[in-house]
Amino acid sequence: MLRLDVFVASSTDNSTFSPLQQVTNGQNMQTVPVPDGQYLKIVVKFTRSSTDANGDGIKDSPILYDLTVAHNQPPTADAGTDQTVEQTSWDGAEVNLDGSASTDDGFIEPLTYSWNWDGCLADGMNPTVLLPLGDTEITLTVYDGQFSDDDTVVITVEDTTPPEVMCVESVNPHGNTIPGEDRDNNGKDKKNVNPDGFYEIIADDICDAEPDIYIGTVDDPYMFGPFMSGVVVKFTDAPGAKPQIKEIGSMNCQADAVKYHITLPGDPIVTVVDNSGNITTCNSCLVPPPPM
């Protein structure tokens, strides 16, 4: 039968070669048991057939059209393009990494993908990772079983979402009417019972557990504060009055819940700022002016 066998040997001086080792078509040269050397000898053995197919009196012989010696080349890592994503929780944001553009010649082994940043690790071509607020530089290392290559990508997690703020009508510790319950068309309390407004101010932010609360006027929204979420404030709307704040208490069990008494020349403006600098305002802490 027709046969074509290929053998290789190596040498450091092009004079003395190692024993010949047979190789097969497509075999990785890294798996051939020949020592490292500067020179490579290739021996091809042709085995004729016992037949004469064309009748020319010569036994058929195999034909060698091409012989290529290929060796493993290092891979090329590609960690993808830089990304900017929105923070989605106090811990940061989930980000999909993409190393699919990395390339290799396919010798030895399929590529493995390793990602590392700030002491954290992830594996795989497209892992999903949790990253904190700010810039994180991530290094991708691809390895083909012999060689490796690195590439980096910068992921920016930003917080551009303002916190939520609510002015919740709170209980007057003296048991009087909640402000605004019976206002007339001029905004005054018809019963003239409770010209002061008691409100609990609640602020919530997906990225900041304790956003800063400020209370003031349109002209000076940062007049008083910062306060923490849940603060209960007594407001007095006194047109023409000088703005002032007093720390207060009350006597009917709920008194310690009312932390401050704030007097303003009009309804208060509540401003909330999170640790990323996002700002939200609220003007729903409405207070009727004192009775005329």
**Predicted pLDDT at 61:** 84
Q: Where are the domains of the chain?
A: 1-71, 83-158, 164-282
- Four-way CATH pick for 83-158: 3.10.450.50, 2.60.40.10, 2.40.110.10, 3.90.580.10: 2.60.40.10
Q: List the one residue out of 174, 178, 172 whose CA is nearest residue 286.
A: 178
**Predicted pLDDT at 184:** 52
What DSSP element (H or E) covers 168? strand 164-169
Instruction: Note whether 207 and 261 are within 8 A (CB).
Output: no
Instruction: Note whether 79 and 139 are within 8 A (CB).
Output: yes
Dihedral angle sign, alpha carbons of residues 257, 262, 266, 271: negative
Report the distance separating Cα 218 and Cα 87, nearest Å. 30
Cis peptide bond prior to 291, omega within 30° of 0:
no
**Predicted pLDDT at 81:** 97
**Predicted pLDDT at 54:** 78
Helix, strand, or coil (residue 255): helix
Helix, strand, or coil (residue 161): coil
**Predicted pLDDT at 288:** 66
> What global pTM score does this model have?
0.66
Report the distance separating Cα 45 and Cα 98, nearest Å. 48
Q: What are the average pLDDT values for consecutive 10-residue runs of the chain, which has 292 residues?
A: 88 94 83 88 89 80 84 92 94 96 88 97 98 97 95 97 90 56 50 64 92 95 95 88 85 62 92 95 79 50
**Predicted pLDDT at 249:** 64
